[in-house]
Amino acid sequence: MTDTATVLIVDDEKATREGLRQALEDEFDCYVAASAAEALEYLKNDPIDVMLTDLRLKEDDGMKLLDEALKLPKPPVCIMMTAYGSVDTAVEAMRRGAYHFVTKPLNLDEVDLLIKRALRSRTLEVENKELRRQVERKFSIEGILGQSEIMKPVLETVQQVAPTRATVLIEGESGTGKELVAHALHNLSGRPKQKMVVVHCAALSPQILESELFGHEKGAFTGAQDRRIGRFELADGGTLFLDEIGEIDASVQVKLLRALGEHTIERVGGNKPVKIDVRVIAATNKDLAKLVEEGKFREDLYWRLRVVTIHMPPLRERKSDIAVLADHFLKDLADTNGKPPKPLDEEVMPALMNYDWPGNVRELRTVIEHGVVMSTTPRVMLRHLPSYLSQSGVPGLRVPVMQPARGTDAPAPASAPPMHAPGFDLNIERMEKLFIREALERTNHNRTEAAALLGLSRRTMQRKLKEMDLVRKKKKPAAENTTDA
């Protein structure tokens, strides 16, 4: 037998609240309140399932009571009553989160039916939340969400490898969640209370990277006025995560190989070995095997790094995870941005599923945050997401119109020629530049969104903008005319 539902009746007219109590108390546990303050006392101290409140409460405002009730950790389902019914009032109450709206004089059968529907809706909502929690418990590890078949081996490998000391290489495109996997491996290891030190290798020059990793002695180079401890020593007893490992210089590769093989390092400018106890996790969005073939990456280091390999699949190969990821981001980003949690409108999910996600999970997170911030309705609508998701045609970037490869500045043709057409420009650098320009235009020159759209890290995007001279120059303010009239 289920517990009897509790209903709080709030009305400043005694005859109304007592009449409702008598009509409903055979089916529900009823409480009555004559003011907003009295109602809030009940709400804070007793588990109320449904609140039936008048819109006008003498000096109080039923809308404000609605707002306060919905802020509670376990808010009731709210039904508004008023003798001043209007479409505008009903819309405002629903917009603020009311379940429904009834006008006086009340039809008691209608009220009874409405309360029962509200309770069924509440029960379904609680059950759905519990199902989502069960799904997240079953298909997530330390924040890595995924219920698709392709993600199961990833989650299983993380669980199995995390407690060991094995070096792990995480492969995958930009934005797939490689750093999240690294944190999960650390948190589930036997040393989660120790430090996890992160180094983004691509952001540092070879000389700086060597000093950052291994430290340096006083006087090792110009400007080295003191001894400095490197990241390996800082991570001693814990985990060192080397992101974008494919970017490291040959000289640093040699020292890294020794650190992995002998568990010792030497500071730059020093000759005394320093023992270290560090678990190394590396990540790359490049094909290291191909770099080995090209002579750009040491083969012996490659095999040292890939004791265990975890491949993070791109989002386009795990689209069944989009709903779980989107739901997680909706709640997390609403909290981060100080917004009320809202569901996605039914038109949004098909658009998310039809898109190819070149920026992977990182791009999905950016898209959902855009929707959370821009939404002004009870649901996040398709129009609140970046415009490219609702555009017709093939998902993703359109191929820009190419210039004919004649070495001239002739205007572009009205439409791009077919790939096999004579004169089609196959110069990769020029194509890359056109795609970057296109991404910038589509995101109103938001570099972060453009990078996500192209599947690039923000640092890589910044570097390419400089290399291709695409950085927008700030306009100089016009000089003031100091000539006397």
List, for residues 283-297, the tens digit of each pLDDT value: 999 999 999 999 999
Residue 484 — pLDDT band, cuts 50, 70, 90?
A: very low
Confirm whether 53 is domain-assigned. Answer: yes
Is 139 among the domain residues?
Answer: no
Q: pLDDT-based confidence at 142, cuts 50/70/90?
A: low
103 or 401: whose pLDDT is higher?
103
Check whether 476 has a pLDDT greater than 70: no
Give the CATH number for residue 387. Answer: 1.10.8.60
Q: Which two tokens stand for residue 86?
A: 């209007």
Tell which wins on pLDDT, 177 or 461: 177
Residue 181 and residue 306 in one domain: yes
What is the pLDDT confidence band of residue 474, given thresholds at 50, 70 and 90? low
Residue 423 reports pLDDT greater than 50:
no
CA-CA distance, 353 to 67, in Å (whole number)? Answer: 35
For residues 297 and 368, membership in a common domain is answered with no
Average pLDDT, the chain: 82
Cα gap 243→457, rounded to integer Å: 11
Q: Return the pLDDT at 415.
A: 39
- Residue-level pLDDT at 481: 47
The answer to whether residues 253 and 160 belong to one domain is: yes
- Which of the pair, 4 or 88, is modelled with greater confidence? 4
Residue 321 falls inside a structural domain:
yes
Backbone angles phi, psi at 223, to 5 degrees: 100, -10
| pLDDT at 181 (0 to 100) | 94
In a domain, 140, yes or no: no
In 3D, which of 442, 431, 433 has the Cα closest to residue 469? Answer: 433
pTM: 0.55
Total domain count for the chain?
3
Q: What is the pLDDT of residue 473?
A: 60
**Co-location of 303 and 323 in the same domain:** no
Are 21 and 106 in the same domain? yes
85 vs 78, more confident: 78
Domain CATH code at residue 207: 3.40.50.300
Structure tokens at 448: 């972060």
Q: Do both 73 and 181 map to the same domain?
A: no
475 lies in a domain? no
Strands 144-145 and 140-141, by their bridges, are antiparallel
| CATH classification at residue 88 | 3.40.50.2300
Instruction: Answer yes or no: is 483 within a domain.
Output: no
C-alpha angle 143/144/147, rounded to 5°?
125
273 plus 350 within the same structural domain:
no
**Which of 79-83, 115-119, 160-164, 481-485 shows the lowest mean pLDDT across its residues?**
481-485
- State how far the Cα of 459 lies from the Cα of 243, in Å rounded to an integer: 12
432 and 324 housed in the same domain: yes
Task: Give me the pLDDT at residue 197, please.
Answer: 94
pLDDT of 479 strictly over 70: no
Residue whose C-alpha is closest to residue 178's, from 309, 89, 13, 365? 309
pLDDT at residue number 207: 82
Distance CA 434, CA 86 (A): 54
- One domain, residues 293 and 331: no
In three-state secondary structure terms, 479 is coil
Quote the CA–CA distance of 312 and 153 in Å, as a whole number.
10
Is 62 domain-assigned?
Answer: yes
Looking at the structure, tell me whether residues 130 and 174 fall in a common domain. Answer: no
Work out the angle at residue 30's Cα, subtended by the Cα atoms of residues 60 and 63, and round it to the nearest 5 degrees: 25
pLDDT value for 356: 92
DSSP 245: G
Which residue has better confidence, 341 or 140? 341
Element (H, E) at 74: none
pLDDT at 358 over 60: yes
Please report the beta strands in 55-104, taking only residues with DSSP state E, as ranges in sequence order. 56-57, 60-61, 77-82, 100-103
Residues 24-51 have pLDDT tens digits of 988 999 999 999 999 999 998 888 999 9
Residues 189 and 91 in one domain: no
pLDDT (mean) for 65-81? 89
- Residue 459, pLDDT score: 75
Residue 164 in this model has a pLDDT that exceeds 50: yes
Rounded-to-integer distance, Cα 254 and Cα 273, Å? 15
* 300 within a domain of the structure (yes/no): yes
pLDDT at 319: 92
Q: Looking at the predicted structure, is the pLDDT value of residue 405 above 80? A: no
Are 128 and 159 in a shared domain?
no
Average pLDDT over residues 345-349: 89
pLDDT in tens, 245-303: 999 999 899 999 999 999 999 988 888 899 999 999 999 999 999 999 999 999 999 99
Q: CB-based contacts of 156: which residues, under 8 Å, 6+ apart? A: none
Q: Domain range holding 397?
A: 317-402+424-467
Greater model confidence, 395 or 7: 7
